[in-house]
Structure 1
Amino acid sequence: MKISRGKILILILSIGSGILISTMIKSNLESYRPVTLSHIKSTEKEIEESIKELNDLEKIIDSKEKELQSLAELSYNDEDIVEKLNMNLVSNKSVSGHLDLEGPGITIKMYDNPEDEVIGEDVNQDVIHDVDVLNILNDLRVAGAEAISINGERVISSSELKCRGPVIGINGVSIGTPFIISAIGDPKLLMASVNAPGTYAHVLKDVYGIGFEPEEKDNLYIPAYSGNFEFKYAKPVREDEKR
């Protein structure tokens, strides 16, 4: 029986098509992998991180737009620019302690135990030390004190407190008892920070008999820091250098 050329050609094409189709199916099957739970969680985490990055960028953009709007509101004449710069200067000087300030707050008079009898284990526990004053300052800061002075010396971030025998050194100046601490802030909160049971001031007063007399004031005057402070090692970081 003879087979025509047409049938042979059809047969060859059919076989070739079958091989081609099977190869394509096999290739497609290999390109797909089963989706696992860990893969889904990993993808969700990547999406969440991307959303967070977008939110952070939106906040930065919003902040910059507000700055631009603030600048745009200026009429760009010399008086407006000088006024804005002066406002920034006053704010910076207030924070750094280089400006006289006034406002409500409290004063604290601290002095050594006035009694002749030694209350502590030795006489050193009946006198005020630099650490005692430092702990009181820390409690006042935690309570929201915005400006503090000791015997007229402004306390700033770089102010040191050193024991020098019967006196304490601050900002290079020696001061003796009584120590008068002035603090501007919410009088109620400041009083609570040195009057509440268990506070450091409470222990000084009730356990060691240290003289401690806090008083609320409607208005206090705290002088500016009179010294000079320069950074020797720290330097400002430009916006394009931030990590």
Structure 2
Amino acid sequence: MKRIDKPSLVVFVFSILLGIFLAFQFKQTVPYFAPVTLNSIQTTKNEINTINKEIDELNIMIDNKNEQIKMLESIASGDENIIDILKSELSKNKIVAGFEKVQGPGIIIRMEDNMSEEAFGQEYNLDLIHDADVLRIINDLRGAGAEAISINDQRVLSISEIKCGGPIIRINGRSVGTPFYIKAIGNPKLLNAAINAPNTYGYALMTIDQINIETSIEDEIIIPEYNGRFNFKHAKPSKEGD
């Protein structure tokens, strides 16, 4: 049997200990990287877009407050007529509330029931447009930044009712039938993508339910003012200190 001398044994043991130590250190210093997937990238992009949108909204709010400060300073110094300022503010508020006719770029959507022969005899939900379909389209347009929306020349506000009434849909208490013409003012590209891009509700209606949906981008759209009436029966102004 070959004899191992003591120095060689010491070097051998030291080498093993050194290897274990280096392996442990390497394990401690190597960071862990989570796998990057398309879903994680899209989630991150959505979060960034949401934050950027909030920043834009805050900047708009700051600009509005600065304008109000300048207006009050002008009134205090006597440079502005308070009647003219109040009229201007009233006009702005009427536009925001939907009580003024507005115009601007956007899209026009034409929606019609699936009247093909293959559709007859199929399930009810597969060939007719329902109030839920119109509501989803409206919500997608609002999510894409629509500033004003109308359906068959009925201005759509937050208080507008949209519900089925047999083969028709009631909007603001008035009955309208197909085809439905939805007009929306805003960024035409974003509004168009909200309806036609894959994975949107409008795209599903067209490709799965075979609902007839056509969109056209317009440079100038006119949307009428809200001409209905409403009274607040339950909501009342909040008092100071409440």
TM-score between the two structures when normalised by the length of structure 1: 0.68
The corresponding residue for 1:8 is none
List alignment gaps of at least 5 residues for structure 2.
1-63
1:218–1:66 CA distance, 2 compared to 1 (3 A) = closer
Distance 1:106 1:68 in 2: 36
1:68–1:218 CA distance, 2 compared to 1 (3 A) = closer
The secondary structure found in structure 1 opposite 2:72 is helix
1:170 is displaced (CA, Å) by: 0.5
1:95 is displaced (CA, Å) by: 1.4
1:69 is displaced (CA, Å) by: 4.8
1:94 is displaced (CA, Å) by: 1.1
The corresponding residue for 1:114 is 115
Structure whose CA Rg is larger: 1
The corresponding residue for 2:86 is 85
The answer to whether the 8 Å contact 1:104/1:217 transfers is: yes
The corresponding residue for 1:143 is 144
1:144–1:120 CA distance, 2 compared to 1 (3 A) = farther
The reply on whether 1:241 has 2:241 as its aligned counterpart is yes
Distance 2:82 2:237 in 1: 23
The corresponding residue for 2:105 is 104
Superposed CA deviations along residues 67-106 of structure 1, whole A, max 9, x for unmatched, are 55532213547x7211111111111111111110000000
How many pairs were matched up? Answer: 178
List alignment gaps of at least 5 residues for structure 1.
1-62
The secondary structure found in structure 2 opposite 1:115 is coil
The answer to whether the 8 Å contact 2:150/2:182 transfers is: yes
Q: Aligned AA for 1:88?
A: E
Of stretches 110-119 and 159-168 in structure 1, the one that deviates more from structure 2 is 110-119
The corresponding residue for 1:192 is 193
Of stretches 229-238 and 195-204 in structure 1, the one that deviates more from structure 2 is 229-238
The secondary structure found in structure 2 opposite 1:181 is strand
The answer to whether the 8 Å contact 1:147/1:185 transfers is: yes
Distance 1:119 1:184 in 2: 35
The reply on whether 1:134 has 2:147 as its aligned counterpart is no
The within-5 A match list for 1:202-221 is 202-221=203-222
